[in-house]
Chain A
Amino acid sequence: MFRRLLLAATATIAMTGLAHAAEIGISCGAVGQELALCKEGAEAWAKKTGNSVKIISTPNDTNERLALYQQLLSAGAGDIDVFQVDVIWPGILGNHFIDLAPYSKGAEKAHFPAIIDNNTIDGKLLAMPWFTDAGVLYYRKDLLEKYGLQPPATWQELTEAATKIQDGERKAGNDKFFGFVFQGRAYEGLTCDALEWIDSFGGGAIVDGAGKITINNPKAVEALTLAASWIGKITPDGVLNYGEEEARGVFQSGNAAFMRNWPYAWSLANNADSPIKDKVGVSALPKGGADGKNTGTLGGWQLAVSKYSKNQDAAADLVMYLTSKEEQKRRAIAGSYNPTIAALYEDPDVLKAVPFFGSLKATFTSAVARPSKITGDKYNKVSNAFWNAVHTVLSGKAQADASLASLDGELKRIKRNKW
């Protein structure tokens, strides 16, 4: 009874709140076409409801974006009403967001349950999923054909194929050509990439579901040792300072055979002005050896409404609009952003624009999650220790086994008694 009354009350407030126009500030990322798509969507909502929107662009680097959010939110600033938050942040920033359940009217049931579960803390729906992500492998169809190769099934095969293509292309005169690019900068992106290598070898997910630190194992050593062997051979040294867009810069200018990246790069690589238009194929990331598995790190972004917003109802309405099926479909077609609504993976229009959404559906739904839920607000420390340990191995400053052994000790110190 009380719940119903509360709902009725919020609904009334919501209606009256929408009656007079509000200006809603929304933070959008600017990786690839994100900003343009966000702007179009938000403006369509503004036109429909008579409100206005202000787009606030934020840093591309996820760590820097989090830092900015933390400063704004801990100061209780109301400048941004709607926050675009990473899949690993609900545990860190959750305190500052309102419960969206009274506004969603059950809309969350159409989304992937795992992501809804990730965004629900203490029974509160703190964010609505906007798009999901998993790492995928991009390859040059034309070059594989030229050298008589198949898309690689294992990382070892990728190493061989990349070496062969790189040698051939360099002999043919392109001395800037490399076999493989990925995200190797010491930041959250490296945690994603390295987790994929380790999980594909069967080395686990740093910390397991029960909170046990599992990273110091022979499979993880094997995975990192192989990855370290790429640097300077099939991968430029500079990859140790590359984020998503730097890697895409090399691949899209035609200077790499393989690239690990998120699905967003697909529509950009096939843009009219892209030198590699229609030459790109996408597959799941390779397995770690014959008995390994195909995997990808779960990424993705959510929309949340700040507690300090002066127009919470209008802001929540904007969130519901942007995460709706129609808007997710538009974004999937125009920018190859993965929908979080399962039904859209069977939509013919979506599959026509992004064919691999259908064939890689399993990869997207079973992606390996970073241990952010179990480690809670200590996740950033865990991830920082992990990417630094990996970066040390990649840059040749330490062997994988020694680095993982010291990481194990470090994680135990961070954990101390409990997560």
Chain B
Amino acid sequence: MANRSELTRAKLRSAWLFLAPMLVVLALVAGWPLIRTIWLGFTDANLSDLSKAEFVGFDNYLANYDGEWAGLLVEPLWWRAVYNTIWFAVVSVVLETILGTIVALVLNADFKGRALVRAAVLVPWAIPTIVSAKMWGWMLHDQFGVINDLLMRLHVISSPVAWTANADTAMWAVVMVDVWKTTPFMALLILAALQMLPSDCYEAAKVDGVHPVKVFFRVTLPLIRPALMVAVIFRALDALRIFDLIYVLTSNSRDTISMSGYARQQLVDFQEVGIGSAAATLLFVIIAIITAVALTAGKVRLSEEAR
């Protein structure tokens, strides 16, 4: 018995030894900036002279000045940014999941040149966001853009639409470019799940003459649900951090500002490192809550599935 625990202890020691460098690096590159941001959120730090920062407690979040409430929690623009971001995340992830599943089902079928198509589909995902955003910006341009030209030639629209300038269409333009860019990523994850499905269920269904749509909803979907959940959570977290696409593509007015955009505006444009850090901290908290909720909800369903 004693020997065995001695061995376990040795194993534990070496495990920690191997883990240590990684933990140190992680603490330096992820932990320190995070803690510093949270700390700065409790100060009145200003970009012009960071050394003069003083502790102000929760004033950046909520404070009462002469009977008037101020701070992020009562700031309409912040809540507008929260709304914009969550709206974007929900709409884009739903569309990407549906389209990604369809693309994956197509790619899962056996046809000539399948490998080539699989590689080609990934191209939008491989282009850096900033490049694709600029490219789409030109394609969507109201005067010189090819999309308006095309739609006018097809007589879908009678005059050019200012996709990225108009408050009603700007967010949809962002969603469209994001869907274009990340659907391949979703498709790839779902495809991986599809390829691991056992073929016997399908053969049985075929013999029984079950309609393919019914097979998809009764067999395929439940079986790939775990992989699908992972993909959705992954994409949702990414979508909640959206910054570059909106910043490059739209006019950056209040109609389209995201949480990250708001934090950047405070930090850089207004030099308010304190309030900007508080906003970044809130963004972190919101993402953490959504992740926790999504994971719990996902797990509940998964365990039901297992039963």
| Contact indicator B142/A238 (Cβ below 8 Å) | yes
> Given A95-B49, A380-B269, does the pair A239, B165 have CB atoms closer than 8 Å?
yes
| Contact indicator B162/A241 (Cβ below 8 Å) | yes
Closest to B169 in A: A237
| Contact indicator B270/A185 (Cβ below 8 Å) | no
| Contact indicator A392/B253 (Cβ below 8 Å) | yes
Q: List 12 A-B contacts (CB under 8 A).
A: A74-B50, A176-B143, A187-B252, A236-B160, A237-B161, A240-B166, A240-B253, A241-B164, A241-B165, A381-B270, A391-B253, A391-B254
| Chain B: minimal CB distance from A166 (Å) | 12
Of the listed residues B49, B254, B265, the one surrounded by the most CB atoms of chain A closer than 10 A to its CB is B254
> Given A388-B254, A392-B254, A397-B167, does the pair A237, B142 have CB atoms closer than 8 Å?
yes
- Chain B residues near A63 (CB, 8 Å)? 269
The digit string for A351-388, where 1 denotes a CB below 8 A from any CB of B, is 00000000000000000000000000100110010001
Question: Is A274 an interface residue when CB atoms closer than 8 A count as contact?
Answer: no
Question: Among residues 226 to 243 in chain A, which have CB atoms less than 8 Å away from a CB atom of chain B?
Answer: 236-242
| Chain B: minimal CB distance from A371 (Å) | 16
Question: Is B250 an interface residue when CB atoms closer than 8 A count as contact?
Answer: yes
Closest to B266 in A: A381
A67 to B269, CA, bound (A): 6
Of the listed residues B164, B252, B253, B269, the one surrounded by the most CB atoms of chain A closer than 10 A to its CB is B253
The digit string for B244-271, where 1 denotes a CB below 8 A from any CB of A, is 0000001111110000000001001111
Q: Which of B141, B143, B144, B252 contacts A186 (CB 8 A)?
A: B252
The tally of residues in B whose CB lies under 8 Å from a CB in A reads: 30
| Contact indicator B65/A384 (Cβ below 8 Å) | no
| Contact indicator B48/A95 (Cβ below 8 Å) | yes
> Given A250-B143, A384-B265, does the pair A377, B252 have CB atoms closer than 8 Å?
no
Residues on A lying within 8 angstroms of B by beta carbon are 63, 66-67, 70-71, 74, 92-93, 95-96, 175-176, 184-187, 236-242, 249-250, 255, 377, 380-381, 384, 388, 391-392, 395-397, 413, 416
| Contact indicator B268/A67 (Cβ below 8 Å) | yes
A71 to B254, CA, bound (A): 24
Question: Is B146 an interface residue when CB atoms closer than 8 A count as contact?
Answer: no
> Given A186-B253, A384-B270, A395-B255, does the pair A236, B142 have CB atoms closer than 8 Å?
yes
| Chain A: minimal CB distance from B276 (Å) | 12
- Chain A residues near B269 (CB, 8 Å)? 63, 66-67, 380, 384
| Chain A: minimal CB distance from B265 (Å) | 7
| Contact indicator A70/B270 (Cβ below 8 Å) | no
| Contact indicator A237/B254 (Cβ below 8 Å) | no
- Chain B residues near A381 (CB, 8 Å)? 270
- Chain A residues near B49 (CB, 8 Å)? 95
- Chain A residues near B143 (CB, 8 Å)? 176, 236, 238, 249-250, 255
**The 7 A-B residue pairs with the shortest CB-CB distance in the complex, in nearest-first order:** A238-B142, A241-B165, A237-B162, A238-B162, A186-B253, A240-B165, A241-B251
> Given A71-B268, A377-B271, does the pair A240, B65 have CB atoms closer than 8 Å?
no
* Beyond A95-B48, A240-B162, A249-B143, 12 additional pairs, beta carbon < 8 A: A186-B253, A187-B252, A238-B160, A239-B162, A240-B251, A240-B253, A241-B164, A384-B270, A388-B253, A395-B253, A396-B167, A416-B65
